[in-house]
Amino acid sequence: MIRALYTAVKAEGASPPFDTLQLKVFYPAAPTGDDAERTSGAIPADRSRGPMPVVIFFNGINVPAECYAWLAIALARQHIVTALFNWVGETLPGTIGLTIGLDLRRVTPQTYGCGPTVPAIGQIIAALDALNRSGPLEGVLAMDRLVLGGHSAGGTAALHNANPRYFAQVVAGFSYAGHTLAATMLGFPPGAVLPCSSELPLLLMGGARDGVIAASSARYGQAADPVLPLRCTFEQGITGQRGDRYLVIWRAANHFTLAHPLDETAGRSFLDLSAEGDETAIRAHLSEVIAAFILAVASRARSALARLELLLNTPAVEWRKK
C-alpha cells in the first residue's frame, strides 16, 4: 500500500501570502487494521527495510506537483520516500505562479556558488526531520541520505543545490529536462555553464523531442537545440571522472513526458514537440532508471547499480557516464 501525508512549510524571507509550501510525502505503508487507522486514515510506514532514502522533488514552473504523483508512487514501491510540493509565489519578479523558490539574486556571476539557490530547501529538510520524529513516518526516513531531483527548472534547481557544502545530508541529484546553462539576462556571457558539485553522483536526463528547451535556447545565447544544453552541462558543468555521473537521453521523449497527467492550462507545454511512441512505456522506463540510480547511490545497493546500466543498454536511449 502506498500512502501520503501532508504538511506545510514556511519559507523564510518570502512575503505573505506567498510564504507557505504545501508538502506531500509519499511512502510505502504497512497497515495494521486498527481502529485509529480507520478513523484518521494515518497508516504507519513499512519498516521492514529500515530507514529509507528520501527524495525532495522540484516541479517545473507552473507544473503542479500532482503531475509527478505517478513517479512518487513508483519510487515508494521501491522503498524510496518522495516529497513533492506546491508553492504559489514569484516565478519571475512581478509574476505569480507555481514556483520552486529559485532566488535569482543567488544566480549571478558574483553570487553563484556562494550558497543554495533555493533557500527553502533548508526549511523542507527541517519539516522532514519533524515528520521523522513522530507520526506515521517516525524513524523511517534516512535523513542522512537525501536526494534532490526535479523536472525542467526544478531539475536545474536540483543540479544547483545537490552539493554537500550546502546540505551535508544530500548524497545525490537527478534532473529531467534540466540543465545549468546561465541566462544572459542575469549577466552571464552567452553559452556560460554553471558548475555542478564534483563530489556527488548525478543523473541528467532528457528527451530528444524537447521543444521547450529548443524554444528557450536564445536565453542562453545558443542556437535552438533540444538536448545541447544537457550535453553542455554534462561535458562542462560536471568535472572529473567518478563513474557515477550519467547523461541519459530518451530518443522519443519530449519536455513534458515526465509530467503526467499534464495540466495544459498553465506552463509552456504549447512549445513542446510531440513525443513519439508509447509515453506510458517511456515513463515506466524513466521511473525504473531513477529508482535504480537512487538505490545504487543512496542505499549503496550493488545490484541496483548493475540494474541501472542494464536498463540503460537499450536502443530507446543514448547514454554516457563519467
CA distance 209 to 212: 9
CA distance 289 to 286: 5
Spacing of C-alpha 297 from chain mean position: 15
Is the pTM higher than 0.75? The answer reads yes
What CATH architecture applies to the domain 2-321?
A: 3-Layer(aba) Sandwich (3.40)
Q: Is residue 289 within 8 Å of 253, Cβ to Cβ?
A: no
The position carrying cell 522540484 is 58
Q: Which of 150, 147, 160, 148 is nearest to 194 (CA)?
A: 160
Q: Going residue by residue through the chain (322 aa), what tens digit of pLDDT does each one get?
A: 999 999 999 998 899 999 999 999 999 998 888 877 887 888 999 999 889 999 999 999 999 999 999 999 999 999 999 999 999 999 988 899 999 999 999 999 999 999 999 999 999 999 999 999 999 999 999 999 999 999 999 999 999 999 999 999 999 999 999 999 999 999 999 999 999 999 999 999 999 999 999 999 999 998 899 999 999 999 999 999 999 999 999 999 999 999 999 999 999 999 999 999 999 999 999 999 999 999 999 987 778 889 999 999 999 999 999 9
